[in-house]
Structure 1
Amino acid sequence: MSDMSGRTAVVTGAARGMGRTHCLALAARGVAIAMVDLDEAELGQAVQEVVKAGGTARPYAVDITSGAAAADLVTRVAADFGGIDVLVHNAGLLFSLTGLADTDDQDFRRLLDVNVHAPLALTRAALPYLRSSSHARVIFISSQWGQVPAGHSYGYMVSKAAQLGLMKTMATEFAPEGILVNAIAPGAIRTRMVPDDRYEEECRLIPIGRIGEPQEISAVVAFLASDEASFVTGQTIPVNGGALVVGI
């Protein structure tokens, strides 16, 4: 994969799990990382890990569900790094495994705020910098549940399906300007979103016979951010160990 030195990426939900490994994967290819998360303490540790591995990173403890906060974040990142080339919309919420009838209205709004409104606000704010970049990329970390109903977690599924619709709309609108927009739809990945007591059940359902590791999603993030993905836009890339093949 080509070297990406000189580029800057903003990664949300960067303090732990997939967000942290996305930062490590991009930093290993020369990308400077603006790491965004609400958990200031854990975010600091994640930044230290990236720097210790030889990367360049700075922490930004920001709630970007506010459009004003997203705009302020973009201004700060551009001042610190000189521009923005890549957005990785990784931050996400799941909440409970309830059906729609049992989903609390406030929880549902919060799901939409984090999974849909925040990526929209951040992308809007970053547009002037993306338009001036020769390597502009917007990458959504969605979910296979945004593609296929799981039979539970309906609020989460609705928000992730909306996220994929937002991605396709952005891809269509921004393609003429050279801004490439794609999504990754992970299946079961070893993060805090998958409780330990569900690992065995998840493994039985997945054709490969195991759940995925965060680094396996990060490898696709790095590809989509690279020059090798220069003809890829508007796509949802499933990374799920074959789960969708058997309809789960």
Structure 2
Amino acid sequence: MNRIDLAGRVAVVTGGARGIGLAIAERAADSGAALALWDMDAGKLAETQARLEAKGARVSTHALDLTKDAAVEAAVAATLEAHGGIDILVNNAGITGGNAPTWELPVAEWRRVVEVNLIAPFLVCRAVVPAMLKRGYGRIVNIASVAGKEGNPNASHYSASKAGLIGLTKSLGKELATKGVLVNAIAPAAAKTDLFAQMTEAQIAYMLSKIPMGRFVETGEIAAMACWLASEECSFATGAVFDVTGGRAVY
């Protein structure tokens, strides 16, 4: 495994207690970053913190609902107090919201998916960017999805939320392009994580059938891309979407 240089950097990873977020946190720690993990699951956060600290990582944890702006502001303040700054933000937390045709999806479920997958990253960016601007440096990585580019059937809420996250990435990237803060998105194909429990077997089979490589992406493969985008080596890419889809993406 190549070592990406994140030495001396402080990385906030939302949804960092498990799945893709945990893989990104582990790779960032291996690359020298200190970590602030933001997640709703306090118990899982404690387990993840112990796991990472056993490997020598410096880790703080913050249990919160990312859809609440006051909670996000408080987490930023706590992270700054614990680490002295924020250099990297990975907006990873997300939900799928189950599967059904658009006209059969409950309104409350549609709204909840958009709240978690799109409004929460907006709130986090809104709260974190000023701290990055003060340092004149930052890297923001938004974990979107190929569904945001293509639209998966029976997942209109998830697809729309991830398309919105891609749009947010492009707008924010342009706004910050001359300020030392770069903003990019990753659009992976499906990875086998806890989110699979929210999907039907038919939906999982559909997603696998769309991937030319014939397998799901490994969380470590997404983590490698995320950590490179979070590094100083990524210096001229902003507002971009990086596909990790095993050949599925066509644009």
Q: TM-score, normalised by structure 2?
A: 0.92
Q: 1:52 and 2:57 equivalent? A: no
Contact kept, 8 Å, 1:168 with 1:235, in 2: the verdict is: yes
Letter in 1 for 2:236: F
1:15 alignment partner, one of 14, 17, 20: 17
SS in 2 for 1:33: strand
Q: 1:108 and 2:110 equivalent? A: yes
Post-superposition offset of 1:52: 1.6
Q: Tell me which residue corresponds to 2:99.
A: 97
Matches of 1:23 and 1:90, distance apart in 2: 11
Letter in 1 for 2:99: L
1:221 alignment partner, one of 217, 226, 240: 226
Q: Tell me which residue corresponds to 1:238.
A: 243
SS in 2 for 1:215: helix
Contact kept, 8 Å, 1:19 with 1:90, in 2: the verdict is: yes
SS in 2 for 1:137: strand
Post-superposition offset of 1:120: 1.0
User: Which residues in structure 2 correspond to 1:195-210 (within 5 Å)?
Assistant: 195=197, 197=201, 202-210=207-215
Post-superposition offset of 1:135: 3.7
Ranges in structure 1 where 5+ consecutive residues have no aligned partner? none
Matches of 2:246 and 2:5, distance apart in 1: 28
2:157 alignment partner, one of 155, 162, 172: 155
Post-superposition offset of 1:203: 4.1
Q: How many residues align?
A: 246
Q: Tell me which residue corresponds to 1:41.
A: 43
User: Which digits, 9 at most, give the CA deviation of each residue in 1:221-240, with x for residues without a partner?
Assistant: 11000111111101011101
Post-superposition offset of 1:98: 1.6
Q: Tell me which residue corresponds to 1:179.
A: 181
Letter in 2 for 1:21: A
Post-superposition offset of 1:112: 1.6
User: Which digits, 9 at most, give the CA deviation of each residue in 1:60-90, with x for residues without a partner?
Assistant: 1111211111111100100100000111000
SS in 2 for 1:236: strand
2:144 alignment partner, one of 103, 124, 142: 142
Matches of 1:240 and 1:35, distance apart in 2: 26
| CA RMSD after TM alignment | 1.8
SS in 2 for 1:78: helix
SS in 2 for 1:194: helix
Matches of 2:224 and 2:80, distance apart in 1: 25
Mean CA deviation greater in 78-87 or 41-50: 41-50
